[in-house]
Chains A and B, each alone.
Chain A
Amino acid sequence: EVQLVESGGGLVEPGGSLRLSCAASGFTFDDYAMHWVRQAPGKGLEWVSGVSWNSGSIGYVDSVKGRFTISRDNAKNSLYLEMDSLRVEDTALYYCAKDSRGVISDLENWGQGTLVTVSS
């Protein structure tokens, strides 16, 4: 069974930083692309970033480019999101999701999410 467990969320002041982690199990991690998707309170889903199986292809939504960095450690079956220069509008539940392919194209399985709150 695919399991994705996010951690690292919390309360941070505007301009601060946070690092999210996603521990994956139940599948061959380095066969699949991985993603971060967020959902602001009461709002819809927004794809934040994705990384291909070998980190050869990485993409970001425009609003986080230059501030967020996605990475993965295939030896540790883990996905990360380094978030810098955080803004109030980054407040959201952040989901880790597994692709159905090695390249960025899909969101087959989702975690339960970790909450990030940016506030002074």
Chain B
Amino acid sequence: DVVMTQSPLSLPVTLGQPASISCRSSQSLVYSDGNTYLNWFQQRPGQSPRRLIYKVSNRDSGVPDRFSGSGSGTEFTLKISRVEAEDVGVYYCMQGTHWLSFGGGTKVEIK
């Protein structure tokens, strides 16, 4: 089974400042078709999760460009260039290369 490890667990950020979340997988997420199925999700309080980023670095429709994803192999990062109040919530990485599994989540809050 692929274990996904996220850090930090909690991320207090000042409005307008950048934020960065790390995600590590226990094995390579490169699939046999050459794609890397690593996604990022946002879950705002009281809402269903929403996909932000797919295949490492592709933003979903309607996702602000202050969100960006990067990484390869087993190390991945989600960055928010300038945190806004609406970004408060929990962020999860998820791999879809070997069945599916999630990281434990990172709670983003405003200082």
How many chain B residues touch A (CB < 8 A): the figure is 23
A108–B54 alpha-carbon span in the complex (Å):
9
Query: By the criterion CB–CB under 8 Å, are A95 and B102 in contact?
Result: no
Query: By the criterion CB–CB under 8 Å, are A44 and B102 in contact?
Result: yes
- Given A62-B1, A106-B37, are A46 and B48 neighbors across the interface (CB < 8 Å)? no
* Contacts of B26-54 to chain A: CB distance below 8 A: 31, 37, 39, 41, 43, 48-51, 54
Query: By the criterion CB–CB under 8 Å, are B41 and A47 in contact?
Result: no
A46–B41 alpha-carbon span in the complex (Å):
13
A109–B101 alpha-carbon span in the complex (Å):
16
CB distance from B58 to the nearest CB of A (A): 10
Contacts of B104 in A (CB 8 A): 44
A78–B49 alpha-carbon span in the complex (Å):
21
Query: By the criterion CB–CB under 8 Å, are A59 and B105 in contact?
Result: no
Which among A44, A59, A104, A111 has the highest number of chain B CB atoms within 10 Å? Answer: A44
Query: By the criterion CB–CB under 8 Å, are A106 and B54 in contact?
Result: yes
* Contacts of B55-111 to chain A: CB distance below 8 A: 90, 92, 94, 96-97, 99-105
List the interface of chain A (C-beta within 8 A of B): 35, 37, 44-47, 50, 59, 62, 95, 100, 104-113
Report the 5 A-B pairs with minimum CB-CB distance, sorted nearest first: A105-B96, A47-B100, A110-B48, A44-B105, A45-B102
